[in-house]
Structure 1
Amino acid sequence: MIEIRNLTKKRTNTEIIKKLYNKIFPPTGRAGHKKFELDVVLASPRLMLALNKKYRKKEKVADVLSFLLEKNRGEIFLNASEKNLPYLFVHGSLHLLGYDHKTNQDAKQMSMKELNIFKK
């Protein structure tokens, strides 16, 4: 299940995010239940700065922040001012699934996964 909340005044079409969610977290079980519960928050640059300071100790506005709350539950904050929200959503989702880009090899693997999601 995905829930999207827009905390800004900027109108955003969230249908693409819902479609990408279905690609990244496919249904499981007979009833089509999602294994992964996800809250997506469209946030202002000011909130993204505050969250980045608090949780990552970084003094800059983040474009995306992902938080794994439980094994099958997470939260993604997207900077609503950014132009490429679908890409940021995919990037944040992959972080929740354990992908990162700390090394060149990890970054390459994550980038390939991102491309594959958009090709589907």
Structure 2
Amino acid sequence: MSEDISRILHSLIETAAKKEELEEGEVSVTFVNDAEIQEINRTYREKDQPTDVLSFPMYEADETEIEVFDEDEPLLLGDIIISVPRAKKQAEEYSHSFERELGFLLVHGFLHLLGYDHEDEKAEQEMFARQEEILLAHGLVR
């Protein structure tokens, strides 16, 4: 990843965190090819196909679990994995920049780490509206 794109994405995560009122936290972002993301998708989601982005939240507590955090350490949110070839292809398909597509995928993955999903129409509308709001606030428009 170029230094310019890395800077844009780092700044975008900061914008998203501010919009979500998250004061500090840590996210791991990994860029891979289609074969690598397919392997991860097969291993962890039992879907033997490449995808554009995967998110693995660090914490997914249910009602019976107690969340324990060390106040002296940053909150570990989880991992985001993005397929670079898929991002390039989708940027062309949607007629916008590669940076905008990477930004969209990064914000999408980040929101998943924070508990957003798109399992039903209402949740999808909420998540996608929030994504667009963050991208617009950051200046990454279509």
SS at match of 1:66: strand
Q: Looking at CA atoms only, which structure, 1 or 2, has the larger radius of gyration?
A: 2
1:111 Cα deviation (Å)? Answer: 0.8
Q: Is the CA contact 2:29–2:82 (under 8 Å) kept in the aligned structure 1? A: yes
| Mapped partners of 1:87, 1:15: distance in 2 | 15
Q: Is 1:49 the counterpart of 2:38 in the alignment?
A: yes
Q: Which moved more, 1:75-84 or 1:87-96?
A: 75-84
* 1:75 corresponds to which of 76, 79, 98: 79
1:31 corresponding residue in structure 2: none
Residues 12-64 of structure 1 show CA distances to partners (whole Å, capped at 9, x for unaligned) of: 722221111111123xxxxxxx5210110011111100000011100110110
SS at match of 2:48: coil
| Mapped partners of 2:17, 2:133: distance in 1 | 14
| Mapped partners of 2:106, 2:33: distance in 1 | 15
Percent of paired sites with the same residue: 30
What's the TM-score once normalised by structure 1's chain length?
0.79
Give RMSD over aligned pairs.
Answer: 1.9
Bigger RCO (CA 8 Å, 6+ sep) = 2
Q: Is 1:103 the counterpart of 2:95 in the alignment?
A: no
Q: 5+ residue gaps in structure 2?
A: 60-68, 70-74, 89-100, 138-142
Higher strand share: 1
| Mapped partners of 2:83, 2:136: distance in 1 | 24
| Mapped partners of 1:76, 1:18: distance in 2 | 13
